[in-house]
Structure 1
Amino acid sequence: MLSQEDMKRALQAYIDGFAAGDAAAVSDLFAADAVIEDPVGTPPVHGRPAIDEFYANAIAAGSKLTLDGPIRGSHGNQAAMAFTVEVPAMNMRIRAIDVMTFGEDGKVVEMRALWGPDDIES
């Protein structure tokens, strides 16, 4: 099983990829058959080609993430982080919590982003 530290490092790499404007570094954290639901309640994004496009678009919009607290581990295969995403291209700020589930190989197999209409500022 993946260690809590490994999962936390992966989530920090996610933040760092956004900071560097490196969409490939972010999407490389995901398994080939991973699923993203961002936000929860919207149609999921399935598989690496769609995930690559999802993050390429987010980075192209200038999205930057700032942690709102420490990255959290678990006793299982999930880790989470609360952060604020600034999207200059859309003149908005979103406060979110991402919960990521990891496979045995250390890749993210599922990411669920928790945020709703009340978590958006423009």
Structure 2
Amino acid sequence: MDAITWNAPDADHPARRAARASMTAVIGGDKDAWLKLFAPDALVEDPVGPSFLDPSGDGHRGHDGIGAFWDKFVSTIEGFRFTVADSFANGDCCANVATITTTMGDGSTMTIDCVLVYTVDEDGLITSLRAHWEPDRAMATLTRP
């Protein structure tokens, strides 16, 4: 089941609104809605640093780079469930302590414990999304049907 479970403070904040809108677009499989949340020169690091998703560790920049990240990875996931355990919003950022459960087309699941840091500009557009998680820990949770 695709959903967001918000067990965290939810006082209104521009970066928190952007974070929730990002999760909603991902759950809905709506690439266009997701890209519209980002500033033209935004950077997505998911995860932060080198990984199998980003061998150089440079992240994905701009709508073209972020769109390519969506096409290569996000779009391959059948379902997403976000559980937000805590949320810290101040300045132009919001850091969410979350668990993301993904379901693949074959029914396999993986759980990603992470801290998602969203930074927004004065218009509320995401300038940076930094997802702190450890691929090896996530892969260790992979279950097959």
When normalised by structure 2's length, the TM-score is: 0.71
Aligned length, in residue pairs: 119
Counterpart of 1:27, as a letter, is L
Match of 1:6 in 2: 14
Q: Unpaired runs of 5+ in structure 2?
A: 1-10, 51-56
Match of 1:31 in 2: 39
Judging changes above 3 Å, is the alpha-carbon distance between structure 1 residues 66 and 53 closer, same or farther for their aligned structure 2 residues? same
Q: 1:52: how far off?
A: 1.4
* 2:68 is the counterpart of 1:68: no
Match of 1:54 in 2: 69
Q: Unpaired runs of 5+ in structure 1?
A: none
Q: Which moved more, 1:14-23 or 1:91-100?
A: 91-100
Judging changes above 3 Å, is the alpha-carbon distance between structure 1 residues 98 and 119 closer, same or farther for their aligned structure 2 residues? same
Q: 1:4: how far off?
A: 4.8
RMSD of equivalent CA atoms? 2.2
1: distance between equivalents of 2:130 and 2:105? Answer: 23
When normalised by structure 1's length, the TM-score is: 0.82
Q: Is the 8 A contact 1:7 1:78 kept in 2?
A: yes
2: distance between equivalents of 1:56 and 1:62? Answer: 13
What percent identity do the matched residue pairs reach?
Answer: 26
* 2:30 is the counterpart of 1:22: yes
Counterpart of 1:88, as a letter, is M
